[in-house]
Amino acid sequence: MKNIFLALLMVGTLGVFAKTVTQKILVKGECGKCKDKIEAALDIPGISFAEWDKETKMLTIRYNDKKISESQIHTTISNLGYATSTMAANPEAQAALDNCCKPKEAKACGAKAGCCKKKS
Instruction: Profile the chain (120 residues) by mean pLDDT over runs of 10 residues.
Output: 56 63 96 96 97 97 96 97 97 95 65 42
**3-state DSSP assignment of residue 113:** coil
**Tally of structural domains, the chain:** 1
**Which CATH number is 77's domain given?**
3.30.70.100
**3-state DSSP assignment of residue 55:** coil
Q: Is residue 5 part of a domain?
A: no
Q: Is residue 105 part of a domain?
A: yes
Q: Is residue 55 part of a domain?
A: yes
Q: Is residue 23 part of a domain?
A: yes
Q: Which domain holds residue 73?
A: 18-109
Q: Is residue 10 part of a domain?
A: no
Q: Is residue 99 part of a domain?
A: yes
Q: Is residue 13 part of a domain?
A: no
51 beta partners? 60
Which pTM was predicted?
Answer: 0.72
